Structure 1
Amino acid sequence: MSKELKTGIVAIIVIAIFIWGYNFLKGQNLFDTDTRYFNVEYANIAGLTKSSFVTINGLKVGKIDKIEFNQQPDKMGHLIVRFSVEKDFLFSKNSIVKIYSPSPLSASNLAIIPDYIAENAVSGDTLKGETESSLFTSIGERLDPIQSKLEKVMVSADSLFKNVNNILDLKTQKSLRNSVKNLENTLQEVKKMMFSVNSMIDSTSLDLKESIKNTRLITENFSKVSDTLANANIGGIMRKAEVTLNSANLMLDGINKGQGTIGKLVTDDELYNNIAAMSKELENLLREMKLHPKRFVHFSLFGKKAKAYTPIKEAELEKDANK
């Protein structure tokens, strides 16, 4: 082997090592045949650079290889990001590549949100891209509508103050001063009235205290009465009253059924008629004894016979009674 050939071989090896080392320092391994490349398009890359990482579920699997503008007329200004994935992790073409920022002070990175339903993605495919709102972006998005509302409020306030200035002329200002003065006088009158009320309350405080004392005594007496009622065995008294009422009910029920002397007297009409007739006969007998006592008691010193009893009519008895 000639010296020139050896020199050429060494030069080729050095150049190859230099190229490999340069690409290795850029994050590309020329001897790694498992590396796949994918594209994703964004309208705004939000601070993404070539040194940004690519992660799947938080694991670093690659890096950004190239960022260039889209040359299509309908997508002018959009950016195409080319990134590599060195791991053999499979995901579908419907997976989403999202730009995110790990912290407010760090650069943005790419995160692959894998999907496993559709066909697996292969090297060279273009995936769907999204941008995750950072802390400052989210705050800015929320402050923008507030800023617009504040601007409208400031314009309205400015118009309001102009209208107020137009309304508050010298005559209106004088009226307002008079109103304030009248309000001050009113407050003075209210203050005097409150003093009068306080004086009246002070004068009636003794009577109020006495009333409260009497109320307390009434409450204590009522409490004693309540204690007496509580200790009076109301239950026993009620039970005895219930027994007495039951006995009275049984007695009245027996009377209604004609049991006993009182029951027969109440329910037996024949007995009632006999007693009424006997009473009538007794009344006639007593009337006869009163009008003619000699018929019932006879006393004679000479042996004169008593007159025989002859019944008289009722009308004669009444006539004699009226004399």
Structure 2
Amino acid sequence: MRNEVKIGILGLVSIVLLIWGYNFLQGKNIFSSDIVANAVFTSVDGLNIAAPVTISGYKVGAVTNIKPSPDYSHVIVEMNIQDGTKIPKDARAVLVQPSLMGGKEISLKFVGDCGNDCLESGGTLQGNVSGMVDGILEVADPYLGKIDTILGAVAKLSMDDNKQLNATFKELQGVVTNVKVLTDLVNNLLVSSSVNISVALSNLKKITGNIKDSNGEITSMLQNINTITTQVKDADLEKTIASAKEALDNINQVVNGLDGTLSKANNMIDNIGKITDFENQNGLVAALFNDKNFKGDIDEVVENLNLLLQDIRLHPERYKTVLSGKYKPYKPVDQDPKLKDGKDPKDQ
């Protein structure tokens, strides 16, 4: 296929889409069999193209065109109504404004079913204009009865023989007077307290100023706290606690060992006390020291030891024969206290 043919087809499709889009924005659908009807109005102030066409508030179409008659005596409004909508030929097209803030629309008013004699494309309907007051009355109609009831009750109350309304007004006047007195008291209180309020605000200003001046110190303190908490967080507390627990266990073992050692020492001291019981003379050592024969024997042993040491000092040659195995007879020392009769104990 040649490029010129492709360009021609693309241009034709674009034109068709453009026409269809333009009509669609105006509420028309050239590919459907909707009903296209006209309505004649004396004035259409506020009505725009694409405004809805409704039946009892339900949208059945849209305004597609607005144009004046050839003599400008009236305005012809073209409407596109959905296919299948049965509208009598004597129906009225009423221009209404459903809300104060909304735009105007066309409402189709009729009674009953049209049967087989219904409005077709190209037909014309008589148009009427509904004022804003009529729309407001339709909205306010349910409340009018209630307003009448309230007004009747007020009128009945004002004609009461007991003059209750006048008494109520007097009470209200008294309440208003009391409220006025109360407001005067509040004003006086505020005036008298204004100085205190000013002082309090001044103190508050000073406090905030001090806080502002100390902002650097507060920031530094917060940074230090943050550093401490970070160090505590990073520290291996579990390992430290385990080490401390192990140290405590070792200390407990040492304490238990000391307890055993002290217990043994106490037993030893008790045994020593039993051995050296000098007070009751029941101990072994006390018994030895208090035995007179034992004391005499000890004295004799000490005396003999002194004599032996004296003899070794005076005659050391005597003790050299111990190694040679030769025996030399003992020559007593002059005036030996052990030889009272001048004889050697070995000769006796």
TM-score w.r.t. the length of structure 2 is 0.36
Select the structure of larger CA radius of gyration.
Answer: 2
TM-score w.r.t. the length of structure 1 is 0.38
